[in-house]
Each structure stands twice: as structure tokens, then as C-alpha cells.
Amino acid sequence: MKKYLVSSVVALVTVGCSAGRAPKAAPAQDTAPVQDTAPSGQAASATGLAPVAPADSEAQQSPRSTQDDAAPQEEKRKSAVGPEPLQVAIDSFDDALEPQKLSCEGARPHRDAICAIAERLCELPAERPSTTRPSASCYDARHSCDAAKTKFKARCG
Amino acid sequence: MKSRVDVVRRACSAVVLLVGLGLVGACGREERAPAPLAAPTMTRAAWLEAVRQAHAGVDGAQSSDDKNDALRRIAVVLDEATPLPEASAAPVRQDLASRAARLALELGRADEARGWAERGLALGNGMPFFRANLLVELADAERMLGKNEAAREHLVQALGINQDLLDRELEEP
């Protein structure tokens, strides 16, 4: 009888509380995961919104691991035959993107900002006319502007 | 004998039932306890739409009234708890704070502009480019308030950030 009582209580404890802690389904609009990291460089849109991209689920990752296992054999086969059409497509995509042009477009706003800030620094009046600091910071900033222009021209023409 | 067993079995069942009810009650209380007292946050889509509208308000602002409306709209978005992870939301908020600071400068309200810029900078590192913009706005506000040394320091800092970003963009792959 004791056995009956104890086993019933244990069963209730196990089933009762663990069922209560089962994770709830997320609301529909919150199911799409958002990339946790902020975008690097200046790839942000005009509004500065971070790109929203779905993260890999376990279901998506598991087939990848099987592909990884088969990768060495696959590579041997590929090297014997020559470049795969996929690789050719990736290469031509990279060529079409013109990464150098992209980085020049990304660099341009920084070059312009450096020179605009330099102008602002040189326009600032000194709080204490005796100090040499304003002219020094103006000189440094102008030098930075020139250096930025030179660097940009050397790389981007 | 059989009737005694029945009585004991019924008593045990009653005890099990009572313990079970107690557990259900306890588990329910445990789940209800951490219920948030604050109002539920916006959905991601609604928040992003509010951000988009705030930017559109600034883009289309011509008159002082338009600019004040745009500022109010930005304030609403920045006051609202974001449903996005902080790392994703920080640059968005910094960009909005930067635009608000610029609007306040255009309206000739240097104190308010400084407040917006400081609010944006207080959001953390976010995105360096937006941080540099906020420093420039802060410098403009300080200059308007006659604090040229403070303005100079912010501008030098903003220049350094842009130099780093330029170097990063132009470094050889």
C-alpha cells in the first residue's frame, strides 16, 4: 500500500511539474530570428537598419555535417575532373561584384567626413587666444585630410 | 479484510488527489510569479516600421513645425523598448539620435541637440560611423553654446574614428 502511495506521488511530481515548464510557442511575429551582431563597415542602409537574417537551424545544419564527412572524397573527384560549374559561377560572381570598387564606395564617405571635420576644426576660434592648440589641431586635421585624399586616390584613382 | 483494504485504498487515493491538486497549484503559482508588470513591447515589424516613419518624417521636414513633429516621432521610437537584440538595435537608435540632434541644431536649440547626441553616445559603441556623426553633432552643439575646447575634443575624436574606418575600407584584401 505504501508502495502504491509513494509511486503515485512520484509520478505526479514528475509529470505535473515538468509539463508546466515545457517551453511555450513563440508568437508568430517573433519566430524569425534576428542577427545579433551589428553590420560592420558601411553596408548599412540609409536608415541604418541592421540586416535581418534567419539564423541556421539545427535542421539546416545536420545535413551539412554529412556533406563535410564526404568532402575529402568529393574534392578528390573534383580535382580530377576540373573546376565545377558552381565554382566557375562563384568566380564570375566575384568578378562582377568588383570588390575593389565596393571598398572605394565604402571609403568615400570617410574621406569626405575627415575633410569636413578638418574644416570644422579650423573654423573653431580659440577660447584663449594665447594658446597654440587651435592652430595645431587645425594643422593636424588638414594633414589628415590630405593623407586621406592621397590614400583614396592611390587605391581608387 | 477486503473492506479494510478498500478503505485504506480510498484514503490513499484521496491523499494522492490532494497532493496532486497541491502540486498543480504550486506549479501554476511558480509560472505566474514572474509575469511581467510592464506593458508588452512592440513587435519587431511594428518597431522597424516606426523607425522607418521617423526617418521619413525627418526627410520630409521643411518647416519648423515639421521638424518638431519629426523630433517627437523620434522621441517616441527611442523611448519605446526595442524588441530587437541590443546589438542590432543600438546602431538604429544611434542613427535616429544623430538625426534628432541635427534637427535640434537646425532649430537653433543647442542644449537639446547636445542632449540628443549624448543620448545616442550613451547607447554604447554601436556602429563607429554613427558614433562619429554623433560626436560631430555634439561638437556643433558645444560650439553653439560657446564651448569651443569641448567641441574641438569631440571633433578630433570623430576624425580619428573616420580615419580608422577609411584605413579599414582601403586595406588590401
User: Which of B77, B169, B172 should we substitute to test contact with A (largest number of A Cβ atoms within 10 Å)?
Assistant: B169
Do residue A20 and residue B28 have CB atoms under 8 angstroms apart? Answer: yes
Q: For chain A of 157 residues, list the mean pLDDT of each consecutive stretch of 10.
A: 45 40 38 37 35 35 42 54 73 70 88 97 78 77 97 91
Do residue B152 and residue A37 have CB atoms under 8 angstroms apart? Answer: no
State the ipTM, two decimals: 0.73
Q: Which three cell numbers stand for residue A87?
A: 565554382
- Of A97, A138, B106, the closest CA to residue B116 belongs to B106
Using an 8 Å CB-CB cutoff, list chain B residues near A9.
Answer: 16, 19
- What is the residue extent of each domain of chain B? 1-35, 44-170
Quick one: fold of B44-170? 1.25.40
Least CB-CB distance to B44: which of A34, A44, A118? A34
Nearest CA in chain A to B24: A16
Least CB-CB distance to A5: which of B5, B12, B130? B12
- Name the H helices within chain B: 2-32, 44-59, 64-79, 86-106, 110-121, 128-144, 148-170
Do residue A5 and residue B149 have CB atoms under 8 angstroms apart? Answer: no
- % of chain B residues with pLDDT over 90: 71
Give residue B13's pLDDT.
Answer: 52
Write the pLDDT tens digit of every residue in B46-56: 999 999 999 99
Give residue A110's pLDDT.
Answer: 96
Using an 8 Å CB-CB cutoff, list chain B residues near A38.
Answer: 87-88, 90-91, 126-127
Do residue A114 and residue B163 have CB atoms under 8 angstroms apart? Answer: yes
**Pairwise CA distance, residues A137 & B25, whole Å:** 70
Q: Which three cell numbers stand for residue B98?
A: 544623430
Using an 8 Å CB-CB cutoff, list chain B residues near A11.
Answer: none
User: Which of B152, B154, B156 should we substitute to test contact with A (largest number of A Cβ atoms within 10 Å)?
Assistant: B152
**The model's pTM:** 0.60
DSSP structural state of residue B147? -
Q: How far is A86 from chain B (nearest CA, A)?
A: 23
User: Which of A49, A95, A104, A142 should we substitute to test contact with B (largest number of B Cβ atoms within 10 Å)?
Assistant: A49
Give residue A79's pLDDT.
Answer: 53
- Of B80, B76, B95, B88, the closest CA to residue B134 belongs to B95
Give residue B154's pLDDT.
Answer: 98
Residue B40 has pLDDT above 80, yes or no: no
| Residue for grid cell 483494504 | B5
Q: Amino acid identity, residue B22?
A: G
Q: How confident is the model at residue B37 (pLDDT cuts 50, 70, 90)?
A: low
Q: How far is A49 from chain B (nearest CA, A)?
A: 5
Q: Are B16 and A5 in contact (CB under 8 A)?
A: yes
Residue B29 has pLDDT above 60, yes or no: no
